[in-house]
Amino acid sequence: MVTKDSAATKRRILSAARAEFAEYGIAGARIARIAAAAACNKQLIYAYFGDKDGLYRAVHAEIVAQVTEAVPFDAEDLAGYAVRLFDFHASAPDVHRLTRWAELERPAAAVSAAGAEATARKIEAIRRAQRAGKVTSDRAADEILLLVLGLAGLGAPGTPEAAYNDDPERFRRMIRRAVTDLVG
């Protein structure tokens, strides 16, 4: 039985783990620091999440759900979607770091089953928009998705170009215009 207390404890552990993984990556994360930050003991973390990898997977699932909810994909407004994705990353810099660590430390997991499914759904939505004449049919749907995601990621926190990003509005304009020019 999940009591209110245990749900609150799990929440505290996940929140502490997210900060720890974002800062130090998977190999560098320390369960002892997470336990201290969550004010619980290490054994409880192992009981709830198995090992460090299990805990990382729980954090990863949480951020995938968060991005999906915060920035719904919109095949009929790809420029707007790209700008909203840029804004989301600006507001949650840990997401970009967590993703980058996973790419380096767990290359296979970086393309998780959930992620691959979400990608397939986006490509299918672009195909439908192409058939409806709302997106150019001049490029393949999967290429359009790559270009949109690539352009949306420019200037995200943690990228080298973010250092020049003292004017987010300029980045928004640049991304909106580039996506419109390529796929509008």
Interface with a copy of itself (CB under 8 A) = 24-25, 27-28, 97, 100-101, 103-104, 107, 110-111, 115, 139, 142-143, 146-147, 149-151, 153-155, 158-161, 163-164, 174, 178, 181-182
Q: Which region holds residue 178: left if phi is over 0, alpha if psi is between -120 and 50, else beta?
A: alpha
The least distance separating a copy of itself from the CB of residue 24, rounded to whole angstroms, comes to 7
Cα–Cα distance between 44 and 26 in angstroms, integer?
Answer: 19
C-beta closer to a copy of itself: residue 12 or 106: 106
DSSP 94-127: HHHHHHHHHHHH-HHHHT-HHHHHHHHHHHHHHH
Task: Work out whether the CA dihedral 145, 65, 110, 115 comes out positive or negative.
Answer: negative
Give min distance, CB of 27 to a copy of itself, in A. 5
For residue 100 the two structure tokens come to 């980058």
- Residue 163 CB, shortest distance to a copy of itself, in Å, is 5
Shortest distance (Å) from residue 64 CB to a copy of itself:
12
The residues, any chain, with a CB within 8 Å of residue 158's CB and separated by 6 or more, are 93, 96, 97, 100
Tell me whether residue 6 or residue 164 sits nearer to a copy of itself (CB atom): 164
Q: How far is the CB of 72 from a copy of itself (least distance, A)?
A: 20
**Closest to a copy of itself by CB, 16 or 152:** 152
Q: Distance (Å, rounded) from C-alpha 28 to C-alpha 89? A: 23
Task: Name the residue nearer to a copy of itself (CB basis): 58 or 158.
Answer: 158
How far is it, in rounded angstroms, from Cα 26 to Cα 176? 34
Closer residue to a copy of itself (CB): 48 or 158: 158
